[in-house]
Structure 1
Amino acid sequence: MEQSKVYFSDLRAPVGTNLLRKLEKLIRRAGIGDIDMEKKLVAIKLHFGEPGNLTYLRPNYAKVVADVVKSLGGVPFLTDCNTLYPGRRKNALEHMEAAYENGFSPFSTGCHVIIGDGLRGTDDVEVPVEGAEYIQTAKIGRAIMDADVFISLTHFKGHEATGFGGAIKNIGMGCGSRRGKMEQHNAGKPLVRQSRCVGCRRCSRECGQDAISYGEDGKAGIDQEKCVGCGRCIGACNFDAIRTPDDAANAELNRKMAEYAKAVVQDRSQFHISLVIDISPYCDCHDGNDTPILPDVGMFASFDPVALDQACADACLKLPVMPGSLLDDRMHEEGFVDHHDHFINTTPEAEWESCLEHAEKIGLGSRSYTLITV
């Protein structure tokens, strides 16, 4: 089988050029112009960033992609779906305000913002998934499915539940409506290690289901009936007191996510871009961010989201650890076990291989790729 092509550009920008021009050159060289976009509605899926977080992709990058789409005759819009958890992106009005606050407006990006699953996260389409093992019909935001062409623009970084957040997560989890996100998360429900809990109550502030309460000793407990397994509490805890007891839970989440991603892109034109910069340990869904765990790498583009994620991961695993980062702290803890994987070393409860393995198995793409430097 022919290897997928992944195109790469580093972040060097000598006098006379800049990263925005390099991004345009990258995506044009990678073949975005081969897509028929004439008078087509083009969804550009990205993460607008939870206000307070500063590692989300700058809107300048989104404008480059939107401008290229318009130059090819397309009609672009930026999109994401509402969140399960509390914050400022849980309904369309707050979500759009958050996007504008972080710089994603028609004036700065040259195209409109549309929240994919509507006002309350209930406007979705049930999409059958070819070859799926876990999902019969994926619940995808209606506006995303109504688009003629789909482009993902991803900030590649760590993630507390899926090992890393790459193109497949941006597509699969990001395009799921609120019930779609619940369907993906509902297998892995965390528990509290009472011996480590200090009763700080940060986890309850992150829980969107009111599933966390506190006993007379001040320690947290999770109501398994209310919990949807979103994993927000795991990332919120600074004391490693919350864990997922089922070793298969994260793998199941990853596989469902791959199936949701396939539902989004199957049978239509697609293109994928990942920027491996500001590699924070956790998702941009948090209203803050920790120092990057790894140095910046560069920009990648491909028609194959599986090959793209594999190439980004491979590049990251070759990098040195950033001193003073969470990953550096983990590696100096007593009893540290080296998994020889920066993402698993950062969050040992998580892993990412199952996502790419399953994505390849169901025909979303190939893990085998040729890297072409632009």
Structure 2
Amino acid sequence: METAKVYYTDFRVDVGTSLLTKLKRLCVRAGFQDIELDGRFVAIKMHFGELGNMAFIRPQYVRVLADLVKEKGGIPFLTDCNTLYPGSRRHAPEHLDCANLNGFNPTTTGCQIIIGDGLKGTDEVEVPIKNARVLKTAKIGRAVMDADVFVSFAHFKGHESTGFGGAVKNIGMGCGSRAGKMEQHSSGKVAVHEELCKACHRCAKECGSNAISYGEDRKARIDEELCKGCGRCIGSCSFNALYNEQWDANDILDRKMAEYAQAVVQDRPCFHINMVMDVSPWCDCHGENDAPVLPNIGMFASLDPIALDQACVDACMKATPLPDSQLTDHRAKAEKHGHVFDDLNPDSMWEETLIHAEKIGMGTRQYELIKVK
């Protein structure tokens, strides 16, 4: 496979030039203007941030993309899919409220928001995955697949399970429906923390398989033969009483996530941007964000999501860790220092995502880094 081009700009600006201007310049130089957009629906996939988290991408940056799409006659919309776990983005009304409270709305971003997998996280399309080695199909939010052009706009950061979160995670995990997220995280079925169950019967109302009943103690019971592992009940429980019975090892999770990302980007025009700033140790799905572990490095863009993530990983590896952060805490306790994402979250297998994504033909890890002023 040929070497991919990754374009990069830092966060330095001269007086009179804004970071928004630099982002637009980066996107144009990286080939965004060469994509046919006239009359096409353009999904801009991003993370709106969990309530309480402050590390997510600011909406002003998103408007730059929306305006670029509209300048070429395209119809942009922001999208993300509902979460599997309890939080502030479990269903579309709640998800939209969260996005609005975090500053994302048509006034600030210049386009509408459509939750990719619908009201309850069940509006999905089962997509065959090209060159897949672990899965055969992926359950992707319908609105994501209905778009003519796909744009990933990701906050690059650490992650407790996958090592880092960049383009591949934003696409693969982010575009999975609730059942898709369940499939990536677990090969098992749902189980009950009986001590947390409040016998509210909400989960049974959400179950589409009649797999939930109640015993004499009024606690929920799961019929494993009937349970399809869709995860709707997990998202409906406000008490964290339902959980994945079997979490996949991180290497399997990474491979599944890469294959889900392949299902989203195959066979249509795509563009990818990573913002390496506020590099928190955990996902933006947390209702909090610890102090950044690395300095703000820059904005990266490419037509190849694997080359893009690899370039961002390499840039993080070269950066000096910030004092009084999780990374420096972990390194202070370690006898020797390894890769930044190994040290940040030692149980993760950060490289497996990139290895597997390259194997299935999603892109290449070989890149040429081109700086844009």
TM-score bracket, normalised by the shorter chain, equals 0.7 to 0.9
Other-structure match for 2:46 = 46
Equivalent position SS for 2:361: coil
Aligned to 1:293: 293
Seen in structure 2, the aligned counterparts of structure 1 residues 187 and 161 have a Cα distance that, compared at 3 Å, is: farther
Aligned to 1:36: 36
1:126: which partner in 2? 126
CA distance 1:339–1:130, change in 2 (3 Å): farther
Contact kept, 8 Å, 1:188 with 1:250, in 2: the verdict is: no
TM-score (norm 1): 0.84
Q: What SS class does the counterpart of residue 174 from structure 2 fall into?
A: coil
- Cα distance in 2 for residues equivalent to 1:24 and 1:47: 20
Is the contact between residue 38 and residue 74 of structure 1 (CA under 8 Å) also seen in structure 2? yes
Match of residue 372 from structure 1: 370
CA contact (8 A) 2:132 2:360 kept: yes
- In 2: Cα distance, 1:179 partner to 1:149 partner: 24
Do 2:331 and 2:337's aligned partners in 1 also have CA atoms closer than 8 Å?
Answer: no
Identity between Structure 1 and Structure 2 (%) = 59
- Aligned AA (2:133): E
1:186, 1:212 → 2: CA distance? 20
CA distance in structure 1 between the partners assigned to 2:342 and 2:145 by the alignment: 33
Partner of 2:219: none
Q: What is the rounded CA distance, in whole Å, between the counterparts of 2:76 and 2:339 in structure 1?
A: 37
- Could you give the per-residue CA deviations for residues 312-365 of structure 1, whole angstroms, max 9, x where no partner exists? 0000011111100011111122xx243521111111110211110000000000
1:100, distance to aligned residue in structure 2 (A): 0.5
Deviation at 1:2, TM superposition (A): 2.0
Distance 1:325 1:279 in 2: 11
Following superposition of structure 1 onto structure 2, how do residues 323-334 of structure 1 map, counting pairs within 5 Å?
A: 323-333=323-333
Distance 1:309 1:212 in 2: 41
Which residue pairs with 2:304 in the alignment?
304
Distance in 1 between residues matched to 2:335 and 2:71, nearest whole Å: 51
Aligned to 1:277: 277
Aligned to 1:156: 156
What corresponds to 1:181 in structure 2? 181
In structure 2, distance between residues paired with 1:133 and 1:188: 19
- 1:1-374 pair list within 5 angstroms: 1-187=1-187, 210-211=192-193, 249-333=249-333, 336-374=334-372
The Cα offsets for residues 114-150 of structure 1, whole Å up to 9 and x where unpaired, read as 0000000000000000110111110000000000000
Q: Tell me, what secondary structure is at the counterpart of 1:348?
A: coil
> Residues 26 and 212 from structure 1, CA distance in 2 versus in 1: closer, same or farther, beyond 3 angstroms?
farther
Task: Name the SS of the counterpart of 1:60 in structure 2.
Answer: helix
The AA in structure 2 aligned to 1:43 is A
Deviation of residue 72 (structure 1)?
1.1
> 1:80 offset after TM fit, Å?
0.1
Residue 209 (structure 2) aligns with: none
2:158 counterpart SS class: strand
Any idea what the Cα deviations from partners look like across 1:51-83, whole Å, max 9, x if unmatched? Answer: 110000000111001000111110000000000
**Separation of aligned partners in 1, 2:188 and 2:258:** 16
Using the alignment, how far apart are the partners of 2:193 and 2:296 within structure 1? 37
Aligned partner letter, 1:143: A
Letter in 1 for 2:76: P
Quickly say closer, same or farther: Cα 1:112–1:278, change in 2 above 3 A. Answer: same
Q: Secondary structure at the match of 2:175?
A: coil
* 3-state SS of 1:24 partner: helix
- Which AA in structure 2 matches 1:5? K
Q: Please give the per-residue CA displacement for 1:149-176, whole angstroms capped at 9, x wherever unaligned.
A: 0000000000000000010000000000
Q: Aligned partners of 2:329, 2:104: CA distance in 1, in Å?
A: 34
Q: Given residue 36 of structure 2, which amino acid in structure 1 is its aligned partner?
A: D
Unaligned runs of 5+ in 1: 190-207, 215-222, 231-244
- Post-superposition CA distance 1:162-217 (Å, at most 9, x none): 0000100000000000000000001599xxxxxxxxxxxxxxxxxx9754859xxx
Q: In the alignment, is the contact (CA less than 8 A) between 1:188 and 1:253 conserved in 2?
A: no
Q: Note closer, same or farther for the CA distance 1:337–1:165 as it changes in structure 2 (3 Å cut).
A: farther
| Superposition RMSD in Å | 2.2
C-alpha distance in structure 2 between counterparts of 1:307 and 1:111, whole Å: 29
Name the SS of the counterpart of 2:114 in structure 1. strand
Hey, what's the Cα distance between the residues in 1 that align with 2:19 and 2:75?
A: 24
In structure 2, the CA distance between the partners of 1:67 and 1:346, relative to structure 1 (3 Å rule), is same
